[in-house]
Amino acid sequence: MGGDRNSRRLEAQAALILRLNEEYPLSFLRELRDRLSERGVRASTGSLSRFFARHVITRKKGPSTRPSRSGRM
């Protein structure tokens, strides 16, 4: 019954995902998803988020990123 059936497929691509995360540390999950798609790996932003949570990897933006346009001025 139920359960996660797609994490195994994503875990098989762990080396590629981790390498892309190192190459583009300030990219958004949707950008990482698109880069994976170019290499034939299908993933959603939610599955990538869960992948990083399982691997205890945080993807917080550093102080060098631009401020949000919707944030306080």
Domain count across the chain? 1
Total-model pTM:
0.73
| Residue 63 placed within a domain | no
pLDDT the model gives residue 7 = 80
> Which residue do the tokens 């290499």 mark?
39
CB atoms within 10 A of CB 33: 18
Please answer whether residues 44 and 36 qualify as being in contact, where contact means their C-beta atoms are separated by less than 8 angstroms: no
| Residue 25 placed within a domain | yes
| Residue 73 placed within a domain | no
pLDDT digits (tens, 9 = 90+) for 17-66: 999 999 998 889 999 999 999 999 999 999 999 999 999 988 766 666 56
| Residue 1 placed within a domain | no
| Residue 21 placed within a domain | yes
Structural domain including 22 reads: 7-54
pLDDT digits (tens, 9 = 90+) for 15-24: 999 999 999 9
